[in-house]
A and B are shown apart, each in its own frame.
Chain A
Amino acid sequence: MSLTIAPDPAAMLEVAARSDRHWWRRLLRRPPAVIGLVGVAVVAIAAIFAPLLSPYSPVAVDPAHFLAPVFSPGHLLGTDELGRDVLSRLIYGAQPTLEVGVVATGLALVVGVPFGLVSGYYRGAADMIAMRITDVVLAFPYFLLAVGFAAIFGPSLPNVVVALGIASLPGFVRIARAEAMALREQDYVQAAIVTGVRDRVILFRHLLPNMIGPVLVQATLTIPGAILGAALLSFLGLGERPPTASWGTMLADAQQHLFDDPWLAIMPGLAIFLTTLCFNLLGDGLRDLFDPAMS
């Protein structure tokens, strides 16, 4: 960093005004972030309470109603080509969506952050190894990893989670590494090093808590990417197998009925789109809190 720390009075006032409120209260003052938060909460509620909320079982076949249109009596959003209730399948579809997004991101975070932390703090050989591993991971787009796993183990949801988790790793390694490198030069860390505090304590008590902000932002912005990726892979048939309800497979099935029942394709896609959008709104809101210069 440069030696000139610009004494910008406006920025200092802003910092002073900010320090007396919790970060989540500042988040709630941003309308886009609130919309995102509400949307994420709706999807989470749908996923958790799916059995209570959905009028039918997601796999129950109604032989009297194949391809019932939207607003049919008994089927608010109609039925698909097997007579399954679309609304129920949309509600149940929230489960794999959130599951993949959160688990894949969690996997990348839990592995990537310690890796980046150690490589940024020690530099040298540890850094070299971490960076070379990251290079190799970056050479395999998530699609290629998912294709490989599907080819070796057969298509399944866990494969998709692992593929997306691995592909999301480099982002977390980079964030944690950059933060560790910057924090290492801070006076309080230098003081801890000089006074002989053990490395383990410096890494986990001094460095880790101070990078929670950027890591949280990275996580919130990784989840929508993983949700889109999982939907794409399910759409291609590389994810969960039928008859499991997922928005990606619903959209794939609906492709055969584009001419006679386009709503069948429009609805699951809209669900993916809105969920991703809400996570991105929330992530952008969090990022603006931690890095106000960019808003």
Chain B
Amino acid sequence: MTVYVVRRLGVSVFTLVVASMLVFLGVRAVPGNPAIALTGNADLSPGAIAAIERQYGLNEPLPVQYIDWLRQIVTGHLGSSPVTGLSITSELAGAFPITLELTILAMLIGIVLGVPAGIIAAVRRGKAADYAGSAVALFGLSIPSFWFGILLILIFAVKLHVLPASSYVSFLTSPASNLSHMIMPAFVLGTGVAAVLMRQMRSAMLEALRADYVRTARAKGLPELRVVLKHALRNSLVTVATVIGLQIGVLLSGVAVTEDVFGLSGVGNLTINAVFQRDYPTIQAVALITAAAVIVINFAMDFLYAYLSPRVRVEGDAQ
């Protein structure tokens, strides 16, 4: 297992380095003078351009600029946005908790709804529960999250007046108010996760239930509930780890649009505003942090995968 984990770690570090180079070079691909691109202001005087080039080190060779930029990101000194003049670090620090809470709640809802639904559908294969669960999952997979969010707002905020339509209250200020604001957006995202998890859990469980070790467990007279929950489920949980790793990118896109619909000033909203304001340093910072988050989560899932699956634990080292 050690060899496997070390190798995955190496791959992750390599991916992170390449990803950071792409993010860094992306801004250089903007047509025109980098100083103008960086500030988004096309009417700069030659003196102002020179000043910006000095401030952002644009006269240095590219590798030096890249290292400087990495150092800024790692130490958290991202400077101020050339558009808003606000500190990028504090902007991100304000937006991050909202996005993190939304993502964690969505994941929890997704796992709580999706995993049991997948198990039940597999065990009751071909029965009414399977068809109903599979149909609901297919709907969840096909529904646009932003439309679902708008429908929930129409029903619960506009018609029934039971939940607030938008805005955010910190959990520390008022936990009840915080949750009443977060429940709709978290549910919208969570159902999307649940749909994918349910489908994957179902096929993983179907496969596990056909395996020899499950037949052995049944043959030696274990109660069916124990066979399903102990023997088959443990192997199927590997699937959950894989799906979470693969879904995190889709989830992040969903987070951005859900923040938009529900008026939450999280990282997604910050990013979209930055795009329309051509605020390149902010976009770069968000892009690198997001890519790094995806890579770290995938590494964590690889680790979990190795821990949960004896096959990977043993054979992973030999490959």
Contact = CB atoms under 8 A, between A and B. Distances in A.
A143 B298 contact: no
A284 B29 CA distance: 41
B9 to A, nearest CB: 13
Contacts, number: 142
A122 interface: no
A238 B275 contact: yes
Contacts of A147: 271-272, 275, 283, 287
Contact of A262 (B26, B158, B275, B278): B158
B22 A136 contact: yes
Given A138-B298, A144-B290, A148-B287, A232 B146 contact: yes
A96 interface: no
Contacts of A262: 154, 158
Interface residues on A, range: 35 or more
A66 B26 CA distance: 43
Contacts of B287: 140, 144, 147-148
Contacts of A251: 144, 146-147, 150
A142 B249 contact: yes
Interface residues on B, range: 35 or more
A83 interface: no
Contacts of A272: 144, 147
Interface of B is mostly: helix
Interface of A is mostly: helix
Interface string B22-37: 1100110110000000
B70 interface: no
B151 A266 contact: yes
A277 B271 contact: no
Interface string B132-160: 00000011011111110011011000100
13 contacts: A142-B250, A143-B252, A144-B252, A150-B275, A151-B26, A151-B283, A167-B249, A237-B272, A251-B147, A269-B144, A273-B147, A276-B144, A280-B138
Interface of A: 132, 135-136, 138-144, 147-148, 150-152, 155, 167, 224, 228-229, 231-232, 235-238, 251, 255, 258-259, 262, 265-266, 268-270, 272-273, 276-277, 280-281, 284, 293-294
